[in-house]
Amino acid sequence: MPQSQPTTFPEDFLWGVAIAANQAEGAFDQGGKGLSQADVVPHRRPTDYANLEHLMRVDEAGIAEAVAEKGTGRYPKRYGVDFYHRWESDLELLSQLGITAFRTSIAWSRIFPNGDDEKPNEEGLAFYERLFTRLRELGIEPVVTLSHYEMPLNLVTTYGGWEDRRLIGLFERYADTVLTRYRDLVTYWLTFNEINSTLFEPYTGGGIIEREGENTRQRAFQALHHQFLASALATRRAHEVNPGAKVGCMLARMTFYPMSCSPDDVLAAQEDNEMNLFFTDVHVRGEYNGVVRRHWADEGITVVMEPGDAEILREHTVDFVSFSYYMSMVSAANPDQHGGTPGNLMNGIKNPHLEASEWGWQIDPKGLRYTLRDFWSRYRLPLFVVENGLGAVDTVAEDGTVHDDYRIAYHREHLKQAREAVADGVQLLGYTAWGGLDIISFSTSQMSKRYGFIHVDQDDEGNGTLARTPKQSFGWYQRVIATNGAALDEA
């Protein structure tokens, strides 16, 4: 008899939305919270999005200036969208979507304000306990990230970020505290958000301040080794505290296509993909792949590893792979032959077959199916799309509604391709669309770059009533969830 194959999402599929504490909560100086690395990132108005990485850097002078400014000023992540005070009503509104999962993060500096405190901040612990308890009461599964670009600032300025091995023990203390406190409330944990960001954005991912004359890539790879160890130790502790806990890694997946069928371009794309996937290789296989080791040798990079490190990585691997997917990329052996400058956000060559968002991100729904199949073939572990969405400038119509057909189209086409991947045999746990409600943009700290299904009345300077209003996409996503994806086929 022919074997049956799934044709749609599983009945227990986790439909949800995702935010991050540093982009939503605000209240940067309330409830015993300490300054985080995100609290010193200013609002930027870049005009050259292809070179955005240069605008995302934070230096020592900038940190000192930000610390001296006690208020919110030009630091939007300090006020977010006031989720800290409005979380109850926000959850009530989000629950009307019918979501069964809500991804958020714990702000490390709410629990240990300086990162190296002897005792945790009870007020911070109590806040997240109330949040997770209410989610459970609403029948919504919390999906919680331990570290989402919001490490305590003191760990950056005093220790030098994750380059210092001492952060492993400090992270262990933090992880043990929250894993134990919320063991009956949280099943799904992610360790480090988009851990590969430490390589392309060292301050954001690793708390590394770039300095002239120093090899930043050397420092970043060393920091990553410490993060991998911390992730493995947190995974071990999660399973000790709650044998039913599910721990995942989280990668900003950048799937690369070759610019042509030239063997040189194909090899260039394979190289780029392997360098993106070595992060998940460490989490899933417990070892570094050969491509990254060759990079170390070719670049003269030495990653210091202590006795026992290899065993820790090998013995405490993750239960599932989660990732963000916003775009695909293009590789070529000789990029200068194709224009010479990046054509897709910070790197990669422009794909002539794809359209781009207002921020230059090339939109590729079929790339999500390709990515899911590729992950599944490589690891045979459950997969979870925990970020996917469209940043766009929204206009509020006279009737008070945001008619965001473009956002509906984006999610519809990506979800259709995710469904195709399920039919291909991929085990997909869920999909949490980025930004259930509008929040501060991570990269530019803009409010005008909106992702949510719920409009928040606030501008780039922090002005507005903060009123929450469902957009047209809210009702659409509500129908998709209620029909377990069947509404994706509606006209």
Task: Report, as residue numbers or ranges, the catalytic residues.
Answer: 387
Give CA–CA dist 345/476, Å, rounded: 28
DSSP per residue over 92-119, as a string? HHHHTTT-SEEEEE--HHHHSTTSS-SS
Give CA–CA dist 315/392, Å, rounded: 43
Pure H helices in 182-262: 197-200, 202-206, 216-241
Structural contact between residues 488 and 419, judged by C-beta atoms closer than 8 angstroms: yes
The DSSP H or E segment spanning 251 is strand 246-252
Structural contact between residues 388 and 326, judged by C-beta atoms closer than 8 angstroms: yes
Give CA–CA dist 18/99, Å, rounded: 11
Alpha carbon of residue 404 to chain centroid: 23
Q: What angle do CA 160, 283, 178 make, to 5 degrees?
A: 65
The DSSP H or E segment spanning 330 is strand 328-331
Structural contact between residues 470 and 454, judged by C-beta atoms closer than 8 angstroms: yes
Structural contact between residues 375 and 320, judged by C-beta atoms closer than 8 angstroms: no
- Three-state secondary structure call for residue 143: strand
DSSP per residue over 418-445, as a string? HHHHHHTT--EEEEEEE-SB----TTT-
User: What is the residue type of 425?
Assistant: G
- Three-state secondary structure call for residue 472: helix
